[in-house]
Amino acid sequence: MPKKYIVLFKTIGRKWFLFLIIIIIIVAIINPVAAIWMTGITLVLFLLSYVPRIFFKNRLHKFMNKFFKIEDELIARKLKKSLKIIQEDMFDLSQKQDKKKWLIVFLNKQYIFYHQETIQAFKDLYKKGYSEKEILDNLTNYKIGIRAEVKAIKDTLIKLKRISEREISVKEHYEKQRFN
């Protein structure tokens, strides 16, 4: 059974904001100037708590750009952060990727980051009329391993309107290869 003081600290940790408001109200009754100072200091400390988060997002993006493809679990292991934090940050980045050259895809309950070179190679193959299997075979150097990834990349690029129409259809590409 947990000790009583541990339970007390956990309760305070969960409800710190309510305790702070009660303390500020009590101090405001006794000394209004001190309450104003306490409120100001609290707001400054609260705003400063977001600074490490901003620096971490920049560090995360620089780290991901070192790889052609990297999954959220590997990022969490390498950066020694919880998977939940990494997934939240990757979700935020994926919501703002309309005009970015890289791509984040959600596939099989995990986020996968693809470097801009990978996406450019995919776009080139897609425009030439390659099928999903041929794209998969040509992108093995970029660590793409399954067809579902190719389909997810294609669907995401189409959804974001970042891929133009094919120059040659898949059928025309097959016929061209067959007669050459």
In which band, very low, low, confident or very high, does the pLDDT at 130 lie, cut at 50, 70 and 90?
Answer: confident
What's this model's pTM, rounded to 2 decimal places? Answer: 0.69
List strands edge to edge, sheet with 110-114. 69-71, 110-114, 103-107
pLDDT attached to residue 163: 87
**For range 143-151, the mean pLDDT:** 90
Positive/negative CA dihedral, 56, 57, 59, 64: positive
139 close to 130: Cβ distance less than 8 angstroms: no
The contacts of residue 93 (CB under 8 Å, 6+ apart) are: 57, 61, 104
